[in-house]
Structure 1
Amino acid sequence: MPEQMLVDHVVASTGLTPAEAARVIDDVLAFHTESVEEFVRRRHAQLKTYGAKNDEIFARITQELAGRVVAAPQLSERQLRRMIYG
């Protein structure tokens, strides 16, 4: 359960119920605490679902990693492939 002051703030600023606000906060925190490997695997699977090819996927993931709140280290395509395929 997120800190009550944060829940109260989100409720006041959005009109969400306390339960909805807590769920949204938990979702955002989970997104930002996801490890680099979890992020790479999740995004690869998502982009594959929409028919993207690996070259395009790896370039996009590299770009997305650089823009995260806490930027991940720069990874080579080989390192990305290892995270996905082992």
Structure 2
Amino acid sequence: MRATEHAPPAELVRYVSGSTGLAPDTAARVVADVVAYFSETPEQYVRRRHTELRRRGWNNERIWDALATELAGRPFGAGEVSRRQLRRMVYG
């Protein structure tokens, strides 16, 4: 956990630890990782995933299609996003 991040809620850590058998320190890291993952803005998500998919050798046409599909299923409910909007998120 980064120094700037807040500690995850103790009650949630206890729940995850108890339901999974993970040690409390490990459960706290898991909870913090999940919270951070779902705290991304649509722009942060698009930039991160674009970088990941480029590293896998995907071309932008394939990436834009994948990102549009992925965004629709994310909890921030980005709605439908055009390829142009995706490009602007990545390249400004």
Q: TM-score, normalised by structure 2?
A: 0.89
The count of residues paired between Structure 1 and Structure 2 equals 86
Percent same amino acid among aligned pairs? 49
2:28 matches 1:22 = yes
Provide structure 2 residue ranges, at least 5 long, that are not aligned to the other structure: 1-6
CA contact (8 A) 2:72 2:80 kept: yes
Segments of 4+ moved more than 6 angstroms: none
Consecutive unaligned residues in structure 1, runs of 5 or more? none
TM-score (norm 1): 0.95
Post-superposition shift, 1:70?
2.9
Structure with a larger share of its residues in helix: 1
Match of 1:80 in 2: 86
Q: CA deviation at 1:2?
A: 1.3
**Structure 1 match to 2:3:** none
Find 1:38's aligned residue among 29, 41, 44.
Answer: 44
Query: RMSD over aligned Cα, in angstroms?
Result: 0.9
